[in-house]
Amino acid sequence: MSDSPTLVEYRGNCHCGAFKFTFKAPEIKETYACNCSICYKNAYLWGFPKDFLAVKGDIDTTLKSYEFANRTMQHKFCPTCGTSVLARIPDGSIGLNLRTLDSFDATAVPVAATDDAGASKEPLYKVPEPVKVEAVPEGTIVYQGSCHCGAVRYAYLASEAPKEATECNCSICHRHGIAWIYPDTPTVVFEGLDSLVEYKFAEKWRLQGFCGVCGVHVRERFAKEGKDHRYGLNIRTMNGGVNVADLTINKLDGKALLPAYDAGW
């Protein structure tokens, strides 16, 4: 009798469907996390499949690469929808963002291990230059934030420290691991918006904005009357002063909203 575990076929894709993949592996019962600068901003939940096969698109031509620090790892994201799909590890193996799997909730299984030393590994992450804000009102707290590479930056002028954020389980928010807050538009000052790529789908009035250089999702803009007075701001992109782990997280069942997401499998 064979002791080999039963293999499950998994499939996944970036949100727009330009890149699709499959692999076979024992049932996924755990994920892995890291607290380094890019893993935190992207909320990666890692898996390491050995039987990875791209069935639509190509890792090197469909996906865009982002490297930093010692440039030993290639982070691959879709330049159309901004989904961070995988990382090519120095030994040639694949680290897969399990949030990109179809019909599998990566947040529903335990995080088996967290590399809490990721943020302290050399060379240390250099926080991008802050956005200068003139005439800050008395009592205002200024939070600086950015994508990972610093091409898109912002200053958020808050009347009080954030205490809660919203995590949505819809097809795009789940993939990107976003924790939202919703400040009024005049309280956020952006720089580098020429590097921001906006992606829209379904009803097309929600525009997800991500950095075209590093792929980190920074904001959501609402192109609809009555909604356009606020931004959705990914609080994971704040560079200090706030840690998502310290916030009350409100869960939103965006997955139940129509129209239902169809990845086209």
Chain segment 183-206, per-residue pLDDT in tens: 999 999 999 999 999 999 988 899
- State pTM to two decimals: 0.94
Structure tokens at 256: 């139940």
Q: Do 141-256 and 7-120 have the same topology in CATH?
A: yes
Q: Residues, the chain, total?
A: 265
Phi, psi angles (nearest 5°) of residue 66: -135, 130
DSSP state of 175: H
Spans of all domains in the chain: 7-120, 141-256
Sheet with strand 52-56: strands edge to edge? 7-13, 20-26, 52-56
* 67 neighbors 59 (Cβ within 8 angstroms): no
Residue 259 confidence class, pLDDT cut points 50, 70, 90: confident
Tell whether domain 7-120 is in CATH 2.170.150.70: yes
Structure tokens at 100: 């990109």
Domain 141-256, what fold?
2.170.150
Structure tokens at 96: 């897969």
Structure tokens at 166: 């919203």
DSSP state of 237: G
Residue 2 confidence class, pLDDT cut points 50, 70, 90: low
pLDDT at 115 over 70: no
User: What percent of the chain shows pLDDT beyond 90?
Assistant: 86
CA 188/CA 156 separation, integer angstroms = 5
- Cβ neighbours for 243, distance < 8 A, ≥ 6 positions apart: none
pLDDT digits (tens, 9 = 90+) for 54-67: 999 999 999 999 99
